[in-house]
Amino acid sequence: MDENTKTKITLPLLITKNYVLFPGRKDERIDVGRDFSIKAVNASRDNNSSLLLIVSQKDSKVEVPTNDDIYTVGTLCRIVSYSDMKTYVRIRVHGGQRVKLNNVQFDPQGFYTAESETLESIVSDEKNIVSLTKKIITEIQDLPGLINSLPRTTQTELFNKGIDPSELCDMLAPYLTTTDAKRQEILETLDVAKRLEIVLSIIEESKQEAKIDAAIEKRVSENVEKHQKDYILQEKLRAIKEELGNGEDGIEDSDAILKKLEENPYPEHVKAKVKAELKRYEMMPQASLEASLSMSYIQTLLDVPWYQKTEDNDEIENVRKILDEDHHGLTKVKQRIIEYLAVKKMTGNLKAPILCFYGPPGCGKTSLGKSIARALGRKFFKASLGGISDEAEIRGHRRTYVGSMPGRIIQGMRRVQVVNPVFLLDEIDKLASSYKGDPASAMLEVLDPEQNFAFNDNYLEEPYDLSNVLFICTANYLDNIPAPLRDRLELIEVNSYTEIEKLEIAKNFLYKKQVEANGLKPEQVSFTDEAYMHIIRHYTMEAGVRELERKIAGIIRKVVVDLLSYKTLKHIDVTPEVVEKYLGVPLFENSKKEKSEQVGVVTGLAYTQFGGDILPIEVTYFPGKGGLVLTGKLGDVMKESAAIALDYVRANADKYHIDSKLFADNDIHIHVPEGAVPKDGPSAGVAITTAIISCLTNKPVDNNVAMTGEVTLRGRALPIGGLREKSLAALRSGIKTIIVPKENKKDITELPKEVTKGLNIVLMESVDDAVKVAIKQ
């Protein structure tokens, strides 16, 4: 039967996977494996013509296709050879014409059949077809891979003899780099111009991909060549340096590192880590970033101290002498260091304590850490923790990041080069948390003696023993330190200095330091005790001595100017008058007690960041509707104390002989002077209660008496804090008697001697005890 006939005939149908047969293809080999496909081939061979319909299925995963799984356009072909390969058959076919498949059915003999209808190509625009044909032939010449895949006869037809445009598409389609769906589209497209456009678009895509592949290959080739060149040059450079006897600048070579490992008592796990990393390093191109990072890590592992240590100064008297030389007072702190040394000397070994000095700014907490290191004969490192909000600052960065480094702890140990330094963690209460983690939580491992023998730094990747480090933390406010972290610290309070202590510090420490810093000699300038006290009282308001040192430094600088300006001047004695000459008008006036006894005015005691101060409380009443007016910028807690005090007095009006109508017909106004200064806390409760009673009974309050204590609705006096600072403020202000809660009796033993000698301290259990002492009967 003729392949070009347009007669509709029914023939066996061979359904192929991932294969599209085009018209005009000669001697195409097809391996047939499915049972129904083999039967279709055999049925075709039984006909004298050996005609067969071939169509591709849409999804190659489908084993038994239905009408919906196959395309509707295929190719009529003739089988020209047949080979039985036992498990499958191999046929060769000549492609005939495009055909449309109708009425696809499964024959009872076990194969598919279909009615075929011949499809003719459509020639719509000859000029466009000629143009497209020429362009395709030109374009494929830039694709040597495609040309080489074409048979020689096809190449000859294509470039020498010329070829029919319709046949051109069918000839190139099997060799184009595209999908089976795209090939099927070429087969189904009858318009020759459109068919050529599809083929041209595929060729242009292939050209673009070829350009990209060529560019990538070029870059890869250049990189490989560069690495090979760098490696050869590095090896030559190393050989030259070895010949000259010089190592790389600042970097030890592998042999030197291995020698260092063997000669020093590094822990075994560190030796193993260094050797493994060194092996990786030697396999890397020496000029690569990875090699640089690897060597940096190796150097860090070697630089961190693993076995080096200093011997402690075990002479207790010598340590005590050094501590006393550097700091005045601070008895508790010094005693704790002496205890640590004594026990260590007795036992021969002792884990270092984790100390935390807390107190107001400027009281010598940081400098005390340096003094302890000097006294013990240890190296000192200070890490400022204020404002740190990144956990990696403590634990270090992982080595996967470029620019990673160890945390502050390991960096400090690397700096001091010993395993037992004094390590000061300054401002530990200023740690902040953020999306980068919580540094305070990271400090738990550092400051826990049960864990810090194996501290894990993310960069170091090896456990590091911190148990020999004497950690000292400093803080201003304990409330800012998380409870789990605070629980690991041995808290030692560093109190604010008394005026007597400040005087001694100024005479024995600050004066000497500033005279030497400004190039003077002691015989050129001197201070009287009155001058020091004048500076302390009228030019500073602080718990510590930082501002005092600045004022003394300012005076000495002006002394230097005068000594250089007036050649005949050999010595200046600084008196209160000279202080005012150099520093100007006094900046502060100490709070003074009331000059006389007054009704409704009671002297309270307050604790501030600068130490203590007296706090006058004024109460008055006037016609109104029974309201309570509070002024003086009071905080919520202090407002509650005022409300409790008024309710207590109202509930016990008969007891204090107060007309109960006064509360209903009058407003009571409580004012705490210095209204611009915020005030808060419960410790003014007793003083407010006493002032209300004085005001409503019209009885004056003794101006030589001050009091402090929290009050309850039953009139009980509860204990308060800051008694040391408050009592010092009372003494400084001329108060003779202070009234404090009985539960603060234990704190009286801690008060300075000048306080216990200069003040009459009265203990109270309730408001009644304060009223008996303070209000004139």
Q: pLDDT by residue (tens digit) across 697-739?
A: 999 999 899 999 999 999 999 999 888 888 888 888 889 999 9
Element (H, E) at 84: strand 73-84
Residue tagged active-site, from 294, 683, 727, 766: 683
Provide the pLDDT for residue 162. Answer: 64
Q: Do residues 436 and 389 touch, judged by C-beta distance below 8 A?
A: yes
Closest CA to 628 of 683, 691, 688, 670: 670
The tens digit of pLDDT for each residue in 390-434 reads 888 888 888 877 778 888 899 999 999 999 899 999 888 888 777
Mean pLDDT value across residues 153-167: 71
* 641 noted as active-site residue: no
The whole-number pLDDT of residue 248 equals 46
Q: Residue 161 has what pLDDT?
A: 57
Beta bridge partners of 613: 606
Residues in the chain: 777
Residues near 4 by Cβ (< 8 Å), separated by ≥ 6? 96, 97, 118
Closest Cα to residue 688, out of 613, 626, 602?
Answer: 602
Query: pLDDT at position 717, please?
Result: 94
72 in Cβ contact with 30 (< 8 Å): no
pLDDT averaged over every residue in the chain:
85
Average pLDDT over residues 743-757: 87
Q: How confident is the model at residue 236 (pLDDT cuts 50, 70, 90)?
A: confident
Per-residue model confidence (pLDDT) at position 610: 65
Catalytic residue among 496, 699, 726, 766: 726
Does the annotation mark 279 as catalytic?
A: no
Whether residue 156 has pLDDT greater than 80:
no
Distance between CA atoms of residues 34 and 45, nearest Å: 17
* Side chain identity, residue 684: A
* pTM passes above 0.95: no
In this prediction, residue 193 has a pLDDT band, given cuts at 50, 70 and 90, of confident
Radius of gyration for the chain, computed over Cα atoms and rounded to the nearest angstrom: 49
Mean pLDDT, residues 372-399 taken together:
85
Res 205: pLDDT: 85
Phi, psi angle pair for 406, to nearest 5°: -65, 165
740 in Cβ contact with 707 (< 8 Å): yes
| Contacts (Cβ under 8 Å, ≥6 apart) of 234 | 285, 286, 287
Q: In the prediction, which pLDDT does 350 show?
A: 63
Q: What is the pLDDT at residue 582?
A: 92
Distances 387 to 454, 491, 750 between C-alpha atoms, Å: 26, 22, 34
**Span 121-143, mean pLDDT?**
81
